[in-house]
Structure 1
Amino acid sequence: MDKRERSVTLPTPRNLLQQQASVQQVKERLLPLNEWVPYPAYHNRNGWAQMTGALTDQLIRQGEKLLDYQWQVIKATDYLEYERSGSRVIMEQPYNANINALARLMIAELAEGKGRFMDQVVNGVWALCDMQSWALSAHLPVQRSKRNLPDPSEQIIDLVSGDVGSLLSWAVYFFKDDWDQINPVITQRVQQNIRKRILEPYMQRSDYWWQALENKPGQLVNNWNPWCNANVLTCFLLLENKPDSLAAAVYRTMRSVDQFLNYIKEDGACEEGPSYWGHAAGKLYDYLQLLSDASGARISIFDKPMIRNMGEYIARSYVGNGWVVNFADASARESSDPGLIYRYGKAVNSREMQSFAGRLLAGKEHKENVPVDRDLFRVLEGIKGYKELQQAPAVLIQAPYAWYPQTEFCYMNNGSGIFFAGKAGNNNESHNHNDIGSFNLYIDAIPFIIDVGVGTYTRQTFSNERYSIWTMQSNYHNLPVINGQPQLFGGQYRARSVFFDAAQKRFGLDMAGAYGPLAAVKEWKRTYTLLKNTLHLEDAFQLSTVKDTTALHYMTWARPVITRPGHIMVKKGTAGLLIQYDPAQLEPSVEPIAVTDPRLTKVWGETVYRLVLRVKKPALNGKYAIDFIKQ
């Protein structure tokens, strides 16, 4: 979570959703519940047999593994560990296990329909209702107490509490009649909990930061907004039976999601990186699809170019062989849901997205695997659309470039095995790293010049200690240290004079504005030019004084080997990269960096490397040229 402000000139609010309907029009356009939910009722066994199809046995087997599942208690000390050590996972692991178990048991019961899983479903919903809060320990410090033990007098809607509310709302929708035969208290208790924890606080409060209903100008709005609002919308659509109250709630979510759409750039890039696309643009899609379904497509903005741009970003950020462009806190490894991408692509009429989804599905080991977790809307949509997804063409459409002029991302692909990704922007983007002017370089779909990414989230990750973490610092990105100074955090530290020349395959910026006054840098104009077998990098600079070390840093996955002055080789498998520089100007050294965090070791192994090209004779002005040549 990041509530810091950015210093920006704000455009006129788009308010795309509020332009679609007033509160009264929302009331008139919403359909009765039994007319819009696109899934069979629980006892419609023919309907479920058709919907689950070839997935039926797999879905039932997943539930069978949980028939003896022991519902875990989240202890007070599990919450306290976040304050004591900064660990989130001690609380999150058992909690996530419970929620995902419930989702799989529900889907197994829907797929089979014999009541075999129902007792465990009831156990699961009962265990969740026993909790004082559905929010994560890491998110509870927004309570008035500022502490992370749940205060039952104050309900917090966060990502996971919303997921749980949505999951339980679907449980009520499908199983209410059968629960009432067991004991009516089950349904009553679940409904009371959803109302107390989700419906009432959402309507009574405007100060949840992610709602953005009380935002100051320029305040950041990230993936939390569509994610939480999609969950809230689900709860209201499935549980609120008073037309006036439902219309007011739906319109309130529209006002809130408009703040996200007003914040996002028109070009549609996800400044949080591809790993967050499913939580940002993907959750926006879920929200919009629910709204469209519930209104019979009479409230819909899928025809807006910006919505399509936001979708296609995920296809254009794919490099190949499971690698994606990873700026900010994103992982370099692809983890997208092909079904989500296909559905989004279908909604916005994007052949690029639909073909990309088919390509991703073709690369999955288990072609009949629809992920089943706590996000039940996506699970249901994935099952319903799986047969159609299997028919999608498995084609990766890679354009020679993708340019995002507002977000200031640039991708270039020369068709000869070199894929370049560079960024400008500012140093207060969502999930920010101090990385203005950095770049990634891939040879034959293998990362060579890399962005390491981010480790396991802890208390420090989203605190004032964030930039004490090495992966967040500019000195561990592909950037210069100037007069001994790294880039600084803040919206005022931003790129200047950003340009992209498609014909010349050139991307450039002045990154001097990313450094503070101690760097004494007037200009640092970096230009990237993509040639047939080479990426040419040129840094032209002006300093006001020379007072400390200046060096160029490049992070690599494989060990750089200095073969002779001016030549450095980097090899990974059969692919290779030659880095050429002027040895009269620059002195190379190679620093191995141990990788110990499991989130990073899964991607890079136990070591990455920093190649340092130290300036031998610092000057007030000049230029450095580096060639990265495919071997």
Structure 2
Amino acid sequence: MKILFHSILPFLFICSIPVHAYTEKDLLQKAASLEQIKSALISDQQWVPYPTYTDRAGWDQFLGNTKDHFISEGEKRLSYEWQVVPATAYIEFERSGNRRIMEDPFGQNNQAIADLLMAELAEGKGRFIDQLINGVFYSCEMSSWVLSAHLGREQISHRSLPDNKKHVIDLTSGDLSSLLAWVYYYLHGEFDKVNPAISERLRQELQERTLDTFMNDSSFWWMALDYKPGMMVNNWNPWCNFNVLQTFFLLENDRDKLAEAVYRTMVSVDKFINYTHSDGACEEGPSYWGHAAGKMYDYLQMLYDGTGGKVSIFDDPMIKNMGEYIVRSYVGNGWVVNFADASAKGGGSGPLIYRYGKAVRSEDMMHFAAYLNSRSEKIAVSSGRDIFRTLQTLLYFDEMQQVMPTYKTPSHTWYPETEFCYMSNKNGFFLAAKGGYNNESHNHNDIGTFSLYLDTVPVFIDAGVGTYTRQTFSSERYSIWTMQSNYHNLPLINGAAQPFGTKYKATDVKFNPARMQFSANIATAYPEEAGVKQWTRAYTLGKNELKIEDRFALNGAETPNQVNFLTWGTVDISRPGEIIVKVESVNAQLSYDKNIFTPVIETITLDDPRLSNVWGKEIYRVSLNAKKVIPSGTYTYTIHKIK
């Protein structure tokens, strides 16, 4: 069976529309009013589609042959030593920028709680209860469930140590809230047999830290309730709102209060949908799709379940576009298109993609999900501390197994609003190029860049991003080399690189599918001192080559231009006019005019595991340095495979 793919907009010649355009679509608020929500709500957790704790036959059937897996994982936690996160671990974020020293022990504790919960649900004999109580009670004793890296933005003190002056909802406090809400839902009766104070304390903490805080505090940036032009609304919004929604659905049984909370989340999630372009592309890249569109889907699914299907926007074409982005950004053999902070490997789990695809009736997504699963030795049945995803995976486990695993790369995909363009051909070329602007979520200064894959192997690459530190999301962000345009496949013009800022953008962005050509004027992506009147970069994909052309005009030329290409594997620049790149089984040649350029190669050592796990110990920047200073001209480069 073959799946037919079509471009997002199959016109012969397409110009993009302005980027970063917030449109008040308000899909959720149009789908249901507060009164309609109130009448549609399913009371007393009757929407939960999983067995009750005491339904042993139900759990045996629900878990199937995964039951022993969950029990085994829980048994590993019976001797787990709960880790104290000391004050100095929070303070270290300010001292050195290290986040992991606080995040790692906190995350390991939370994973232990998830493992123990699933083990107890699987076995049902009470064997994991005491250790689970230890984890729950320790969590309740913590001053905050928020990461050190996130506290400073929201706290009164603006410091990384919890100041206890207000509760904060961030990604991980929300994750832990929803996890503990499932613990309470399933096991509060068992806890009461030990001591009622345990459940009472847990319920109180969830009320104060999450339920009351969400309803009474509108100051959190991710809520975007006071959205103003220029504000960013990224994956935090659906991620946090989803955690809040499931906590309310699992704990709140007052219909009026629950309806108000649900509607408040809808108003907030609408801001994320409004901010996202209708073409559905995730400007944060495939690594973030599961946290952005994927979490939005989880949110919409829970809203659908909690209202008996009466509140749904799954039929809206935009929601389907947002889901299918993850299919179209897949290159092959685990490689994906990785703009911004995304990694070139991974992105999207099969079970999540399947569920999303089923909800929006996307055959492409469902078959692609089956294809991803067919490439794995076993299907991942756990999503870490995200119990909802674990349970949903199990719910659709058998059904997903029956779907034929098929994937076919489309010839082209064009996102006219986000300005992403993918082109491929039957000879193994896959090109990804972008326009955009330099204030996208998880932004790199990379307007006009490209990645080229040959036989699914990345040859000219986007390095991605290293391990997150304090510097990554601070005023120092663009001092990091991975964020800079001169470490992307872009020119250094008149000695100037692209700066950060919304005004630095591509203009005159066009895609011509008949010619398989993408072009953009990137002059406005460079600062005034670069003196660029025009720099139009065009990518044309032929049957056996990729042609790249730079047509430029400068107000004044003072410094020779430098055109950079990032690659890996082995690189040979010894023959004038040719650059030979060998990566795995692929050999490629980049041809340039030897009379115009002198090549220089820089070795970039990768000592950060987040980068080296993808690319190995080093990558290379090949710079074509212009021999002459000229105010206008045309540069041409051609890439083809060689045997």
Q: SS at 1:18's partner residue?
A: helix
**2:483 is aligned with 1:466:** no
Q: SS at 2:570's partner residue?
A: coil
Distance of 1:446 and 1:368 partners within structure 2: 25
Deviation at 1:197, TM superposition (A): 0.5
Q: SS at 2:396's partner residue?
A: helix
1:472-511, Cα deviation, whole Å (9 max, x unpaired): 0000000000010000100000000000001110000000
- Give 1:377's aligned amino acid: F
Q: SS at 2:587's partner residue?
A: strand
Distance of 2:78 and 2:23 partners within structure 1: 54
Q: SS at 1:553's partner residue?
A: strand
**2:580 is aligned with 1:569:** yes
Please name the residue that 2:14 is paired with.
none
Please name the residue that 1:212 is paired with.
224
Please name the residue that 2:79 is paired with.
68
Please name the residue that 1:248 is paired with.
260
Match of 2:559 among 535, 539, 548: 548
Please name the residue that 1:42 is paired with.
53
Distance of 1:419 and 1:397 partners within structure 2: 13
Deviation at 1:585, TM superposition (A): 0.9
Please name the residue that 1:315 is paired with.
327
- Check whether the contact 2:560–2:628 (CA below 8 A) recurs between aligned residues: no
**2:606 is aligned with 1:606:** no
Q: Normalising by the residue count of structure 2, what TM-score does the alignment of the two structures yield?
A: 0.96
Distance of 1:482 and 1:559 partners within structure 2: 27
**2:189 is aligned with 1:177:** yes
Deviation at 1:56, TM superposition (A): 0.8
Distance of 1:282 and 1:334 partners within structure 2: 14
- Check whether the contact 1:549–1:615 (CA below 8 A) recurs between aligned residues: yes
Change (3 A) 1:9 1:351: closer
Deviation at 1:101, TM superposition (A): 0.7
Deviation at 1:398, TM superposition (A): 1.5
- Give 2:295's aligned amino acid: K
- Check whether the contact 1:474–1:487 (CA below 8 A) recurs between aligned residues: yes
- Give 1:458's aligned amino acid: T
Unaligned residue ranges in structure 1 (runs of 5+): 1-6
Match of 1:93 among 104, 107, 117: 104
1:421-466, Cα deviation, whole Å (9 max, x unpaired): 0000000000000000000000111110000000000000000000
Deviation at 1:183, TM superposition (A): 1.1
Match of 1:558 among 566, 569, 579: 569
- Give 2:187's aligned amino acid: F
- Give 1:357's aligned amino acid: A
Please name the residue that 1:293 is paired with.
305
Unaligned residue ranges in structure 2 (runs of 5+): 1-17
Match of 1:476 among 487, 493, 514: 487
- Give 1:450's aligned amino acid: I
Distance of 1:598 and 1:229 partners within structure 2: 31
Distance of 1:562 and 1:178 partners within structure 2: 69
- Check whether the contact 2:22–2:229 (CA below 8 A) recurs between aligned residues: no
Q: SS at 2:291's partner residue?
A: coil
Deviation at 1:215, TM superposition (A): 2.0
Q: Choose between structure 1 and 2 for higher RCO, CA contacts under 8 A separated by at least 6 residues.
A: 2
1:277-326, Cα deviation, whole Å (9 max, x unpaired): 00000000000000000001100000000000000000111101110000
- Check whether the contact 1:103–1:372 (CA below 8 A) recurs between aligned residues: no
Off by >2 Å, runs of 4+ in structure 1: 7-12
Please name the residue that 2:361 is paired with.
349
1:231-289, Cα deviation, whole Å (9 max, x unpaired): 00011111111111110000000000000000000000000000000000000000000
**Identity of aligned pairs, percent?**
54
Distance of 2:598 and 2:505 partners within structure 1: 29
Please name the residue that 1:363 is paired with.
375
**2:601 is aligned with 1:594:** no
Deviation at 1:344, TM superposition (A): 0.3
Deviation at 1:573, TM superposition (A): 2.2
- Check whether the contact 1:8–1:218 (CA below 8 A) recurs between aligned residues: no
Distance of 1:51 and 1:307 partners within structure 2: 29
Distance of 1:544 and 1:438 partners within structure 2: 23
Please name the residue that 2:113 is paired with.
102
Distance of 2:23 and 2:142 partners within structure 1: 43
Q: SS at 1:383's partner residue?
A: helix
Change (3 A) 1:419 1:314: same
- Give 1:457's aligned amino acid: Y
Change (3 A) 1:138 1:12: closer
- Check whether the contact 1:418–1:630 (CA below 8 A) recurs between aligned residues: no
1:131-157, Cα deviation, whole Å (9 max, x unpaired): 000000000002110101112221110
Q: SS at 1:504's partner residue?
A: coil
**2:152 is aligned with 1:141:** yes
- Give 1:217's aligned amino acid: P
Distance of 1:442 and 1:250 partners within structure 2: 44
- Give 1:156's aligned amino acid: V
1:103-154, Cα deviation, whole Å (9 max, x unpaired): 0110011011111111111111111101000000000002110101112221
Alignment of 1:1-16 (within 5 A): 10=21, 12-16=23-27
Distance of 1:280 and 1:556 partners within structure 2: 29
Please name the residue that 2:276 is paired with.
264
Please name the residue that 1:273 is paired with.
285
Q: SS at 2:27's partner residue?
A: coil
- Check whether the contact 1:206–1:213 (CA below 8 A) recurs between aligned residues: yes
Query: Which stretch shifts more, 274-283 or 233-242?
Result: 233-242
- Give 1:349's aligned amino acid: R
Please name the residue that 1:441 is paired with.
452
Q: SS at 2:28's partner residue?
A: coil
Change (3 A) 1:467 1:368: closer
Q: SS at 1:35's partner residue?
A: coil
Q: SS at 2:263's partner residue?
A: helix
Match of 2:411 among 372, 388, 400: 400
Distance of 1:474 and 1:465 partners within structure 2: 15
Alignment of 1:123-202 (within 5 A): 123-142=134-153, 143-202=155-214
Deviation at 1:364, TM superposition (A): 1.1
Distance of 1:580 and 1:460 partners within structure 2: 38
Q: Normalising by the residue count of structure 1, what TM-score does the alignment of the two structures yield?
A: 0.98
**2:632 is aligned with 1:621:** yes
Distance of 1:9 and 1:582 partners within structure 2: 37
Aligned residue pair count: 624
**2:497 is aligned with 1:492:** no
- Check whether the contact 1:100–1:372 (CA below 8 A) recurs between aligned residues: no
- Check whether the contact 2:22–2:276 (CA below 8 A) recurs between aligned residues: no
Please name the residue that 2:351 is paired with.
339
Distance of 1:206 and 1:161 partners within structure 2: 16
- Check whether the contact 1:355–1:397 (CA below 8 A) recurs between aligned residues: no
Deviation at 1:80, TM superposition (A): 0.5
Q: SS at 2:573's partner residue?
A: strand
- Give 2:235's aligned amino acid: N
Deviation at 1:368, TM superposition (A): 4.2
Deviation at 1:11, TM superposition (A): 5.1
Distance of 2:20 and 2:450 partners within structure 1: 26
Match of 1:502 among 510, 513, 532: 513
Deviation at 1:10, TM superposition (A): 4.2
Query: Which stretch shifts more, 383-392 or 517-526?
Result: 383-392
1:22-69, Cα deviation, whole Å (9 max, x unpaired): 111110011113421111101011111111001111111111111110
